[in-house]
Amino acid sequence: MITKRHLRILALVIYFAGYVVARDWHLIVHTVSWSVGHQGKEVVEHGVEPGDVGIPLLNPMYTTLVLFAEPLYGPVRSFEERLWKIAQPSGTLLNEEPEEPSAPPESQGQNTPDTP
């Protein structure tokens, strides 16, 4: 038998699943403000904000979804923002992947044949 408790749990599951979809579709995005310090890039502030709607007339459905997602998921957004501030507080160095060279270095003065 379905009780009120089951319905509440189902509503919460649907709510949080909707938040996951909103994050995946970039209706809600995570932003990081940083500055360059002596040791590299440092976190200044985290934010969880509505996505960029671009030109609303060109994509009215996406704009509508972003506008509804902002107030609907406000409590979860503020909770996620607090988690980011705990995980990476202000002043934390941003870990960046080392840049890979786009092309192999050219040989200097060596002739290598194309065929063996």
Residue 115 inside a domain? The answer is: no
Q: Looking at beta carbons, which pairs linking 68-76 to residues 24 or more positions away fall under 8 Å?
A: 69/22, 69/27, 69/28, 70/28, 72/18, 73/18, 73/19, 73/22, 73/28, 76/16, 76/19
Residue 19 inside a domain? The answer is: yes
Tens place of pLDDT per residue across the chain (116 aa): 889 999 999 999 999 999 999 999 999 999 888 888 777 888 888 898 998 888 888 889 999 999 999 999 999 999 999 998 998 888 888 776 555 555 555 555 555 455 54
Look up the pTM and report it: 0.69
Whole-angstrom distance, CA of residue 90 vs CA of residue 28? 22
Indicate the number of domains in the chain. Answer: 1
Residue 113 inside a domain? The answer is: no
